[in-house]
Amino acid sequence: MDKVNIGDNLQIQCYKHNKHIHRCWKEAVVLDIKEDYIVCGNKKSVVIEAEGNVWKTKEPAVLYFFKDKWFNVIAQLKNNGISYYCNIATPYIIEEGVIKYIDYDLDLRIFPTGDYKILDKMEYKYHKKIMNYSQELDIAIKNGLDELIKLYKSNSDIFSTERNLKYNKQYESMKQKN
């Protein structure tokens, strides 16, 4: 795994279980490095889909990637408050300046109201069948989702509005300097 430093601009590559690339983000500026996760920021990042579609993210985001947890968290700083888009995914690795992980379809969407919803259950069921997810993998995925919901309900720091606004301010400051 590559050594990274605060201020490094990495790319993000999301894969599916069959090892096919699913989506790529061109920007993830490293804002913080903790023992078990890294925090990145981006705004209007170029995103390239596997099918070739290209688009840009709409708002600033603070991204959390974990070394040993089966999810990652994207805090989206929208005009009406912070929404969280949480991917159930493998722990990340970094190779050649790229954050890489495998996405396992299930997502947790947390709204500014505090309500949440589990998304893409049918997609997960379909991919589990056609890609032959093992029982161990299925358990890891479901445990990741359960752990994520517990973290949210226990007001974990990663869901702190104040903290995510501070990280975004740090990101904006770093971008102005460059």
Catalytic residues: 23
Structure tokens of 3? Answer: 């050594």
Nearest CA-CA partner of 68 in 29, 98, 38: 38
* Integer Cα distance of 68 and 92 in angstroms: 8
Per the CB < 8 A criterion, the answer to whether 39 and 56 are in contact is no
Q: How many CA atoms lie within 13 A of 54 on its CB side?
A: 3
